[in-house]
Amino acid sequence: MVIHDISRLLTPGHPNWPGDAPFTVTPAARIAQGDTVNTGVLSTSTHTGTHVDAPWHYADAGIKLDEVPLELYIGPCLVLDVRGYSPVPPEVLDGLDSLPERLLLYTGQPAHWATFPEDFAALSPAFVHRAAELGVRLIGTDAPSVDPLTSKTLDGHRAFWESGLYIVEGLKLTDVTPGTYQLVCLPLPLAGVDGTPARAVLIEQ
């Protein structure tokens, strides 16, 4: 079985959305200091690195993470190369008459962010609606958001809310050839939250 890890490695100082809480791991117990084990204390925004958005992130009437069915995040998936578009338009789906339930978009983001990538490709609402018509239920992007950095209206997120599609952001897609795979993207089992970092892999079929 060939597995591609499409999650961003989280290291302290990982560049988050401007103003958002940083990712840190604070050392706690240390064997070297006489403790019986090594432990750490995690602190993070729910939108760090490769992560899922629960609908409640962008709509007060939306469900929270623990209500989102896990089936969404596991199963057949198409990786598309959409480099060169900003925002990603519906035309990239021209000629496709059906799609698997999961669609991942490589917009050209690098494998490692030294600083927050302020200039990234958002998704046009028309693209999201077109994907929904073609049978997609989950869209993942390698960009940190489906809306531009300065957006106040969050039209991209709103299109997901209107069409009932779900979001994965911050994927690392530099090492995979576009095509079909099985996606496994497991959110952390956190109650009542708006999102969470996730481990995402593609399995070659």
Ligand X SMILES: N[C@@H](CC(=O)c1ccccc1NC=O)C(=O)O
List residues forming the annotated binding site for Zn(2+).
Answer: 47, 51, 53, 157, 169
Exposed/middle/buried for 107, CB within 10 Å: 0-12, 13-18, 19+? buried
CB of 154 to Zn ion, least distance (A): 8
Among the candidate windows 17-25, 29-37, 101-109, 175-183, which touches ligand X by CB under 6 A?
17-25
Q: Compute the distance between CA of residue 201 and CA of residue 184 in angstroms, rounded to an integer.
A: 5
Question: Does 142 help bind ligand X (rule: CB under 6 A)?
Answer: no
Q: Compute the distance between CA of residue 132 and CA of residue 123 in angstroms, rounded to an integer.
A: 13
Closest to Zn ion by CB, 44 vs 145, is 145
Active-site residue 4, yes or no? no
CB of 26 to ligand X, least distance (A): 21
Among the candidate windows 15-23, 67-75, 88-96, 196-204, which touches ligand X by CB under 6 A?
15-23
Footprint of ligand X on 167-186 (CB under 6 A): 169
List residues forming the annotated binding site for substrate.
Answer: 17
Which residues are CB-neighbours of 4 under 8 A, at least 6 positions away?
A: 175, 176, 181, 201, 202, 203, 204
β-partners of residue 195 are: 53
CB of 62 to ligand X, least distance (A): 12
β-partners of residue 42 are: 25
DSSP for residue 92:
G
Among the candidate windows 14-22, 71-79, 114-122, 184-192, which touches ligand X by CB under 6 A?
14-22
CB of 116 to ligand X, least distance (A): 11
Q: Compute the distance between CA of residue 157 and CA of residue 135 in angstroms, rounded to an integer.
A: 18
Q: Which residue is nearest to Zn ion (CB)?
A: 47
20 binds, among ligand X, Zn ion, none (CB under 5 to 8 A by kind): ligand X
CA geometry: angle 130, 62, 142, nearest 5 deg: 50
> Other C-beta atoms within 10 Å of 5: how many?
14
Please report, as ranges, the residues that interact with Zn ion according to CB under 5 A.
Answer: 47, 53, 145, 169
The residues that are catalytic are: 57
Please report, as ranges, the residues that interact with ligand X according to CB under 6 A.
Answer: 17, 19-20, 47, 53, 57, 145, 147, 169
